[in-house]
Each structure stands twice: as structure tokens, then as C-alpha cells.
């Protein structure tokens, strides 16, 4: 047990994993359960659309969720786009695949969505999402034409909005009491997080919950964000503000509650992610595990963290982000109940545990409804891949 | 022997003048002085024997008391070198008496002198203009134009891991100033002078890059060795000999691929400027940054734009604060009217066309002009990176001719032959060590063949095209430490 925690840190949930006890403020008892569907899907070809359609049916159908509604679909286009994993395409390793995005958009349109806005804050650029996609040789028009009224928005800055939207964390938050985000995250009735099934260097895994972290605008939370007001253009990444607290967000945004909190990414990021998911809840979580990468979230591999492009051949969707990520962790060969010190949370607190305490959802699979293909039939062990890569490395 | 465009220069520090100047610098040692004395000995010419080096650049006059002694002391070296077919260029610097130094050079049989600023009116030997890049100029009687303030290429020593807004590390390259010099004086061979950093032992790859950076941009480095390497070469130490051989092999590689020097930079964007005075910084910085955002480009001297072809261009960035003359403006607007995009600075009087919709965050306000667009910068002194990023954004990645992946510390330069049938993509790795993955190029247009040549591989390698579903094809390269070129044939 850690014995160097201040009372405030304890209140902020520091070392929650090690303590294994729920803090007094925990709203876990009130957290909702979720339905999660699992499907086999080896390729982004003809099997993709029916597999996704079936999953949504298993969840109760998309109609009830999106009919007549404005839907924001947050995809994942993380990192520096010019850094691929060898020759593998970004969409087959680190980024949500465009065919999968197109399929989901199509099904949402078919289910009666009034407007679908595909959103993301790609690295350090004011370019539109179409431009980012063109630069990867994608055909963004295929996504735009997958349903009626589809649009894109780069949410790294003000974009098409006139002001940023404020999202307060129910209960007051752990690190920040609230966040200022691009208007798209408010101007929607349904919020979808469409993530890639990956590990993460700082947070262990990056799934539908971590994907929401990318909603934070660089103009406020980036390394060159404005001091008083948001900058006009996004420059750089979020590390200085969020990972290490080496600078503050723009003063116009809600500020860190307690500056004495640890400046460690493994402490901060899981809390920030949990808070964001509490402040801007996900209505539908989708995880692309058809083709992806092991090791970490983008091309940050190292001898200790070897990476490989892999083909787990699985799709996961759910009505609750915590539950969906818990299922995905099981598919990846991890225990979703793991806490700090146990992989994948060797060096970080569990964002799932923290989100559970914030009342976002439940990570215990037995308390959620898991549908479709049994998890045991689609397990693709990331630790096993790592062991294999490390062994090969040692041999070489 | 007369100086010519094919001469391959090397800085040859030797003699009393270099010793006198060295003694005024921090860290100058007796050993270094000894090496400078040794290199004044004709026997030292063995270092360049059998190499492509054909011209030695010696210190000739600096307005110091040692000038006369220097000219006297170098006589045996010059005599012996000339017998061996070497040319000599005398560098005249500082407060030197230029007419006297030129006369002494003629008397000593030098092929040329090099000096900053204006040459004496009646110079009897060719004078190589030796100016800073921002004051680059050519002189009629010299086939060579010199740039005196080149940078040692690589990742900046102070902040090797520092990234720019692109999160790609900054690199020190001479590419921009060399392309500008070539555009301003296309009939001259450009030499660029820069010395190795003295504070650290340099890896062999550092010298290979020092050769490749200017050579791939159609210019020549005035080879300059660090004190330790010169001392070790003089002492016959094998590691020094190996480093020197690698540098010479790299030099020889570019001599074997002379055709590259006849190619011209190609791209859908042209950067047009007089590259002088208040316009220098914006023009040079744009050309410095475009390779970092992977945007192929051409460089156009404003003075030659009247006769230049705009064929194949999608956009022109007119950099200069002062508007062009009426004739050039007419030509530029005709380009935009025909479907091109003309980017101009804020001080563009009475902009043509009518306002067109544009994203509010862009640095440029857009105007519809015929079938094309006029983009007028909203700010008087825009950020250089934001400027080129917005130009690229407005041009759209859907038109990219080339893309480079997995080479964060590398720049590439795309050049084609006059008829466009042959092309080359120069790839320079400023980290001087291979990355974890080999570089990967996306090429939009179909080509018959692609062949990798490099001083780092024993023989040319045919590259395999990997066609992409959305069009274009990718070429996968092996990991390279410093330099490789993809020869393309249509």
C-alpha cells in the first residue's frame, strides 16, 4: 500500500488500484450496466457490413438510438500520420478503418439518423478530416456518401462553431472539474466512440473510453495553446497539459482542481479519461479489432515494447463504454478487473475502475450482458504476441 | 588549368595565415598548428591523390601581417599540385587588400580567387563571388558561385530531439539556399562552404551527409575536414582513412550520376521571389519548410518568371512584399484564371476577382478568379510554418505527387529531366542513422521503373511497385543511414 498519499490525493482516488477499496465518493453502485455484442470479422470486405449490422441488432437495433437524431461519431486518427508500422497501412494498425467507418455510417443512415457528423482531432493540424484522409490515400467521399447528411469536423479547434462547449464532470471531477470541447460534442443527440483495439504506452489500453480523450482541442490543451484564451490554430500534442501538467490549459477553460496532484501520466491520464467519459458520455461504443497493432497506440515501439500488425478479426460494440472496453480487454487477453501493477495497467491506474467509481459503467463482465460470439472464441492474446516478439528479439 | 563548372573543391587549411588565425581561437592546440604546417608540405597532397577532388581552396589574404608569408609559404604546394593537375583558388577575406591579393594570385598561378562583395574592376583572374546566402550573386567571368555561410547538415546539435509543430524534428539542411542560388543563377555551379563542428568526433556518416546534402541539391560542398580527422589522416591512422574513403566514395557516387545535376526540382507548387532584401527571409523559410511538410515544389526567380513556363503547376506562391510589374502580374492572374491558385502576400493592391468562401481559420482569404483562385494573405507578417501548411491545405492532399512515410528525420527532393521522362527522388536522412523501418514512398503517377541507387548499397536495386487501392503505388526502400536516390522512368 502506498503511504505517501495526501488526503487530497486519496480523495482524488490516487492509488485506487492498490487500495482496492472504493473511495467514499464512489458512485459505482449507481453505474449503469451495458449490453455488448461481439462479432467475428476477419476482413474489411463483404463480411464487414453484415457483421456490424448483426451486432447492432443484438444491442436492440440502431433505430431506437439514432432515428431522427444528430449523431457524432468520434473516430481515431491518432499520432503523426507519416509514421506507419512498417509498410502496414494506418487504417490496418492505428486508425479506425475507413471501410468500418463507412459501414457504421451507412447503418446509422439506414436506421434513420438525421445527420451524422464524423469527428476527430487529428495531430496538430487545421486540415479538414477529408484532407487528412486524402493524405492517407483514403476516399473520404465513400464515407460522405454512405448515408444522407454526413459531414466531417476537425475538433482540434473551434472549427465550424462560434464557441467551445463546456462539459462539467458530475460530482466535480478528479483532476479537472470540466472540459471545453468543440461544439460537435454538444451539437449531437447521440455520441458514438469508434475506436481501434490497441494497447497504450501510458494507459495500458486504448479503446472506446480512451478515444474520447482525443476530443479535447489542442487550441486549449495543446503544447502551444493560448495562455488566456484558446489559440486559433492547433499546434503540437496534449502531453504538456494532460500527461505531465508542465503547463496549464488556456485560462478560459476549467482549471486543474489541485496543483499538488502527481504529475505522472499513469496517474493523470486514466483520471482525465474517466472524467471525460463522465462529462461527455458515450451512447454507443464500437471497437475495430479486425486489423490492428499490438505494443502501443502508435508508432512508439521500442525493444521493450515491440509492435506487430495483427489481424484479431473481431468487432465489438456496446451501449456502455466501460462495459465495451471491459469486453475488449478480455478479447485482448487481459483481465478487465486488473488494477495498477497488473498488465495492462503495469504503470497506470485503471481507467475502467476510475470510470466505474464515477458511475459511468461497470467493468465486471458478469454484471453486463455480453452477446454474440463468446469471448473465449475470439480471444487474441496481446501478451502472447508480445512474448513471441520479445523471444524472437532475444534470439536475433 | 582553368577553373570550370566541373571542378571539385576542397578547403585546404595550411600555412602561416591559418596558424595565425587559429591561434586567436579558443582550443587551438600545438598539434593543430603542426597539422597546418604539415598540410603546407607538398607531400600532404597524397590525401587527394586518386580522388575526384580537383581544386584546393587555400587561405590567400585576410588583411593580416601573415598574408605575405602565407602566399610565399604555399608556393611549393601550389607548384606541386598544379603539376599533379590540381587547381587552386585563393580565398580573400576580411580587410585584405583585394587588388594586391588578386595580383599575387595571378602571379602564383592560381586558377581563381574567391571573395565577398565586389571584385576589383580589373581582376586578372576569375573571381568567385563568396557571399552569404542572403546576398548571393553571380559574376560573369566565374563559372562558379560561392555561398560562404552553409550549415553543417544534420539534426541540430542543441536540440536533436526537438520537434516542430509537425512533430517532425527540425533538420539543418543547405537545401533551401542551394535551390534559391540555382534558381537565381541557373548557368552557374554553386559551391557552398561550411566547416565541421570541432567539438566532437564526427562519425563517418556525418561526412557522407555533408557531401550528399549539397550534391543532391545540384551543388558542391567545399570539402572541409575537422582538425582531428586531418591530424589522423596525416598520421596515417586507419579509422581516419576509412572515414575519408567513405566521404570520397559518396563524392564519386554523385560524379557517377552527373545527370542528376541537369534535372530541375518539380512539384505542383512554385515559390516565386527575388529572394533579396526584405523578401529573403519569407522565401527562404518557405523553401526550408516545404520539404518538412513533404510538399514537392519548384523555385522560380522573379526576374526570370516572365520567360518561365507555368505548365504542370497547380499553384504559385508569390512571396515578395512588393507587387510584380504589370506584365508579370498579368501572367500570374492568367495562370489563376486558367484554374490555378495564386497565393500572394497581404500587400496585393486591388485584388482581382470576387470573394469566395473559405475556412475562417485560414491565413488566406480566397477570391474567385476565372476558373481558379487568388489567395490573399490576411496578415502582414504571417508565421512561416502556418503559411506553407495552409498553402498545402488549400492545394489539397488529393493532388499529392509523392508522400514519404517512416522517415521523420529525412527530407526528399523530387527532380525531373527537361522532357519529364526521367526523374529522381533524392532522400536525405539527417539523423545519419537508419530508422527502425525502411522509408516508404507513395508515388501518384505511373512509371515504368524505379531503381534505388545509393553509396550505401553495392549495386542498383530495382524497386517493386505496390499498387494502392485508391490509386498510385508505393515503393518500399531498405533502411538507409544517409542517402539514397530513386531513379524513375516513365
Over residues B135-140, mean pLDDT: 81
- End-to-end alpha carbon distance in chain A: 40
Looking at the DSSP bridge assignments, the partners of residue A194 are A286
Q: Poorest-confidence range of A297-306, B65-74, B168-177? A: A297-306
Contact yes or no for B359 and A80 at CB 8 A: no
pLDDT, tens digit, for every residue of B246-286? 999 999 999 999 999 999 999 999 999 999 999 999 999 99
CA distance A237 to chain B (A): 8
User: What pLDDT sits at residue B162?
Assistant: 44
For A138, the closest chain B residue by CA position comes to B470
Residue A6 pLDDT > 60:
no
Interface mutation target, options B387, B406, B466, B468, chain A, most CBs of A under 10 Å: B406
Residue A15 pLDDT > 90:
no
The angle, 0 to 180 degrees and rounded to 10, between the axes of the packed helices B227-234 and B30-38 is 60
Contact yes or no for B361 and A134 at CB 8 A: no
pLDDT band at B124, cuts 50/70/90? confident
For B466, the closest chain A residue by CA position comes to A87
- pLDDT higher at B156 or A342: A342
Predicted TM-score (pTM) of the model is: 0.93
Three-class SS string for B251-269? Answer: HHHHHHCHHHHHCEECCCE
User: What pLDDT sits at residue A1?
Assistant: 32
Q: Poorest-confidence range of A40-44, B43-47, B435-439, B447-451? A: B435-439
For B166, the closest chain A residue by CA position comes to A124
For residue A233, list chain B residues with Cβ-Cβ distance below 8 A: 361, 386
Q: Poorest-confidence range of A136-150, A153-167, B196-210, B311-325? A: B196-210
Residue A131 has its nearest CB partner, among B294, B393, B469, at B393
Over residues B24-41, mean pLDDT: 93
Looking at the DSSP bridge assignments, the partners of residue A231 are none
% of chain A beyond a pLDDT of 90:
87
% of chain A beyond a pLDDT of 70:
95
- Grid look-up 449507481 returns A30
pLDDT band at A37, cuts 50/70/90? very high
Over residues A223-238, mean pLDDT: 94
For B386, the closest chain A residue by CA position comes to A233
Residue B385 pLDDT > 60:
yes
CA distance A185 to chain B (A): 20
- End-to-end alpha carbon distance in chain B: 40
pLDDT averaged over chain B? 94
Over residues B416-420, mean pLDDT: 93
For A122, the closest chain B residue by CA position comes to B166
- Preceding omega of B26 cis (within 30 degrees of 0): no
CB contacts < 8 A, A to B, total 76
Contact call for residues B402 and B238 (beta carbons, < 8 A): no
User: What pLDDT sits at residue A358?
Assistant: 97
Residue closest to B382 by CA, chosen among B411, B351, B343, B356: B343
The H or E element containing residue A105 is: helix A98-110
User: What pLDDT sits at residue A111?
Assistant: 98
Following DSSP, what letter does each residue of B53-112 receive, concatenated? Answer: --EEEEEEE-SSTHHHHHHHHTHHHHHHHHHTT-EEEEEE-TT--HHHHHHHHHHHT-SE
Residue A5 pLDDT > 50:
no
Contact yes or no for B362 and A135 at CB 8 A: no
pLDDT, tens digit, for every residue of B239-249? 999 999 999 99
For residue A135, list chain B residues with Cβ-Cβ distance below 8 A: 397, 400, 403
For residue B442, list chain A residues with Cβ-Cβ distance below 8 A: 137
CA distance A123 to chain B (A): 8
CA distance B97 to chain A (A): 52
Calpha distance A135→B450 (Å, rounded): 22
% of chain B beyond a pLDDT of 90:
89
CA distance A182 to chain B (A): 14
Contact yes or no for A134 and B398 at CB 8 A: yes
- pLDDT higher at B189 or B122: B189
pLDDT, tens digit, for every residue of B52-86? 999 999 999 999 999 999 999 999 999 999 999 99
What ipTM was assigned to the predicted interfaces of this complex? 0.89
Calpha distance A182→A184 (Å, rounded): 5
CA distance A371 to chain B (A): 34
Q: Poorest-confidence range of A17-31, A129-143, A263-277, B361-375? A: A17-31
Residue B165 has its nearest CB partner, among A124, A131, A301, at A124
- Contact of A374 with chain B, judged by CB distance below 8 Å, is answered with no
Residue A3 pLDDT > 50:
no
Beginning with the edge strand found earlier in the chain, give each strand of the sheet holding A115-120 in spatial order.
A150-154, A115-120, A70-74, A190-196, A284-289, A314-318, A35-40, A369-372
Calpha distance A16→B176 (Å, rounded): 54
Residue closest to B447 by CA, chosen among B487, B490, B485: B490
Calpha distance B251→B455 (Å, rounded): 9
Q: For chain B, which residues lie within 8 Å of any Cβ of chain A, measuring from their own Cβ? A: 163, 165-168, 294, 359, 361-362, 386, 389-390, 393, 396-398, 400, 403-408, 436-438, 440, 442, 466, 468-472, 474, 476
CA distance A305 to chain B (A): 13
Calpha distance A191→A187 (Å, rounded): 10
Contact yes or no for B386 and A135 at CB 8 A: no
Residue B361 pLDDT > 90:
no
For A128, the closest chain B residue by CA position comes to B393
- Contact of A127 with chain B, judged by CB distance below 8 Å, is answered with yes
For B442, the closest chain A residue by CA position comes to A137
- Give, as one character, the DSSP assignment of residue A241: I
Residue A88 pLDDT > 70:
yes
User: What pLDDT sits at residue A100?
Assistant: 98
Amino acid at each position: 500500500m502506498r503511504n505517501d498519499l495526501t488526503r487530497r490525493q486519496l480523495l482524488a482516488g490516487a492509488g485506487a488500484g492498490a487500495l482496492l477499496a472504493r473511495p467514499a465518493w464512489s458512485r459505482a453502485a449507481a453505474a449503469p450496466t451495458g449490453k455488448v455484442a461481439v462479432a467475428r470479422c476477419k476482413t474489411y470486405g463483404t463480411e464487414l457490413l453484415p457483421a456490424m449490422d448483426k451486432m447492432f441488432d443484438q444491442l436492440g437495433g440502431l433505430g431506437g438510438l439514432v432515428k431522427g437524431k444528430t449523431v457524432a461519431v468520434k473516430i481515431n486518427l491518432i499520432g503523426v500520420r507519416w509514421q506507419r508500422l512498417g509498410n502496414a497501412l494506418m487504417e490496418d494498425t492505428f486508425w479506425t478503418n475507413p471501410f468500418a467507418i463507412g459501414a457504421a455510417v451507412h447503418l446509422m443512415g439506414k436506421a434513420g439518423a438525421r445527420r451524422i457528423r464524423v469527428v476527430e482531432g487529428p495531430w496538430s493540424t487545421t486540415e479538414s478530416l477529408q484532407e487528412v484522409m486524402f493524405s492517407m490515400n483514403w476516399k473520404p467521399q465513400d464515407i460522405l456518401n454512405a448515408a444522407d447528411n454526413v459531414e466531417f469536423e476537425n475538433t482540434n479547434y473551434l472549427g465550424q462553431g462560434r464557441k467551445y462547449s463546456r462539459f462539467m464532470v458530475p460530482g466535480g471531477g478528479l483532476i479537472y472539474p470540466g472540459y471545453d470541447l468543440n461544439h460537435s460534442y454538444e451539437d449531437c443527440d447521440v455520441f458514438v466512440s469508434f475506436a481501434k483495439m490497441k494497447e497504450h504506452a501510458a494507459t495500458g489500453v486504448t479503446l472506446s473510453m480512451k478515444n474520447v480523450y482525443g476530443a479535447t482541442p489542442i487550441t486549449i490543451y495543446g503544447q502551444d495553446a493560448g495562455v488566456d484564451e484558446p489559440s486559433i490554430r492547433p499546434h503540437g500534442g496534449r502531453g504538456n497539459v494532460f500527461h505531465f501538467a508542465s503547463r496549464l490549459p488556456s485560462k478560459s477553460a476549467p482549471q486543474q482542481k489541485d496543483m499538488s496532484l502527481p504529475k505522472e501520466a499513469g496517474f493523470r491520464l486514466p483520471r482525465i479519461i474517466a472524467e471525460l467519459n463522465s462529462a461527455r458520455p458515450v451512447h454507443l461504443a464500437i471497437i475495430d479489432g479486425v486489423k490492428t497493432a499490438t505494443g502501443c497506440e502508435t508508432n512508439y515501439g521500442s525493444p521493450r515494447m515491440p509492435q506487430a500488425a495483427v489481424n484479431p478479426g473481431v468487432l465489438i460494440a456496446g451501449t456502455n463504454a466501460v462495459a465495451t472496453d471491459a469486453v475488449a480487454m478480455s478479447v485482448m487477453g487481459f483481465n478487465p478487473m486488473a488494477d495498477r501493477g497488473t498488465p495492462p495497467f503495469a504503470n497506470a491506474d485503471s481507467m475502467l475502475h476510475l470510470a466505474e467509481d464515477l458511475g459511468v459503467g461497470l467493468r465486471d463482465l458478469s454484471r453486463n450482458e455480453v452477446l454474440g460470439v463468446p469471448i473465449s472464441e475470439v480471444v487474441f492474446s496481446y501478451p502472447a504476441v508480445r512474448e513471441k516478439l520479445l523471444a524472437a528479439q532475444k534470439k536475433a | 588549368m582553368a577553373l570550370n563548372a566541373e571542378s571539385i573543391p576542397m578547403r585546404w587549411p595550411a600555412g602561416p595565415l591559418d596558424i595565425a588565425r587559429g591561434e586567436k581561437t579558443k582550443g587551438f592546440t600545438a598539434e593543430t598548428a603542426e597539422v597546418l604546417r604539415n598540410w603546407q608540405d607538398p607531400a600532404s597532397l597524397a590525401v587527394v591523390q586518386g580522388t575526384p577532388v580537383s581544386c584546393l581552396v587555400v587561405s590567400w589574404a585576410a588583411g593580416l601581417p601573415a598574408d605575405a608569408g602565407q602566399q610565399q609559404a604555399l608556393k611549393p604546394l601550389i607548384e606541386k599540385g598544379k603539376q599533379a593537375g590540381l587547381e587552386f583558388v585563393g580565398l580573400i577575406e576580411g580587410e585584405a587588400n583585394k587588388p594586391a591579393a588578386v595580383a599575387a594570385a595571378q602571379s602564383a598561378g592560381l586558377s581563381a580567387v574567391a571573395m565577398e562583395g565586389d571584385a576589383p574592376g580589373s581582376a586578372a583572374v576569375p573571381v568567385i563571388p563568396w557571399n552569404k546566402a542572403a546576398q548571393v550573386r553571380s559574376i560573369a567571368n566565374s563559372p562558379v558561385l560561392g555561398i560562404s555561410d552553409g550549415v553543417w547538415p544534420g539534426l541540430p546539435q542543441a536540440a536533436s530531439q526537438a520537434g516542430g509543430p509537425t512533430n517532425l524534428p527540425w533538420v539543418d539542411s543547405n537545401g533551401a539556399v542551394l535551390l534559391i542560388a540555382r534558381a537565381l543563377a541557373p548557368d552557374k555551379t554553386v559551391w557552398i562552404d561550411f566547416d565541421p563542428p570541432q567539438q566532437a568526433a564526427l562519425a563517418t556518416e556525418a561526412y557522407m551527409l555533408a557531401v550528399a546534402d549539397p550534391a543532391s541539391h545540384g551543388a558542391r560542398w567545399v570539402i572541409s575536414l575537422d582538425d582531428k580527422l586531418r591530424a589522423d589522416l596525416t598520421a596515417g591512422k586507419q579509422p581516419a582513412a576509412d572515414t575519408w574513403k567513405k566521404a570520397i566514395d559518396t563524392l564519386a557516387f554523385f560524379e557517377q550520376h552527373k545527370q542528376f545535376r541537369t534535372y530541375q526540382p518539380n512539384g505542383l507548387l512554385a515559390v516565386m521571389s527575388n529572394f533579396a532584401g526584405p523578401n529573403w527571409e519569407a522565401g527562404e523559410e518557405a523553401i526550408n519548410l516545404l520539404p518538412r511538410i513533404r510538399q514537392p515544389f519548384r523555385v522560380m526567380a522573379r526576374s526570370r518568371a516572365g520567360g518561365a513556363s507555368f505548365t504542370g503547376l497547380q499553384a504559385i506562391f508569390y512571396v515578395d512584399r512588393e507587387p510584380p510589374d504589370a506584365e508579370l502580374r498579368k501572367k500570374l492572374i492568367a495562370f489563376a484564371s486558367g484554374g490555378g491558385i495564386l497565393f500572394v502576400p497581404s500587400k496585393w493592391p486591388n485584388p482581382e476577382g470576387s470573394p469566395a468562401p473559405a475556412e475562417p481559420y485560414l491565413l488566406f482569404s480566397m477570391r474567385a478568379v476565372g476558373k481558379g483562385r487568388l489567395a490573399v494573405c490576411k496578415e502582414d507578417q504571417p508565421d512561416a510554418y502556418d503559411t506553407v501548411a495552409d498553402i498545402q491545405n488549400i492545394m489539397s492532399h488529393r493532388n499529392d505527387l509523392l508522400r514519404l512515410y517512416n522517415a521523420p528525420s529525412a527530407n526528399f527532393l523530387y527532380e525531373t529531366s527537361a522532357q519529364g521522362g526521367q526523374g529522381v527522388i533524392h532522400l536525405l536522412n539527417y539523423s545519419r542513422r537508419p530508422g527502425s523501418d525502411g522509408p516508404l514512398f507513395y508515388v501518384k503517377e505511373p512509371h515504368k521503373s524505379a531503381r534505388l541507387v545509393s553509396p550505401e548499397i553495392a549495386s542498383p536495386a530495382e524497386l517493386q511497385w505496390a499498387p494502392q487501392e485508391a490509386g498510385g503505388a508505393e515503393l518500399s526502400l531498405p533502411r538507409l543511414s544517409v542517402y539514397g536516390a530513386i531513379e524513375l522512368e516513365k
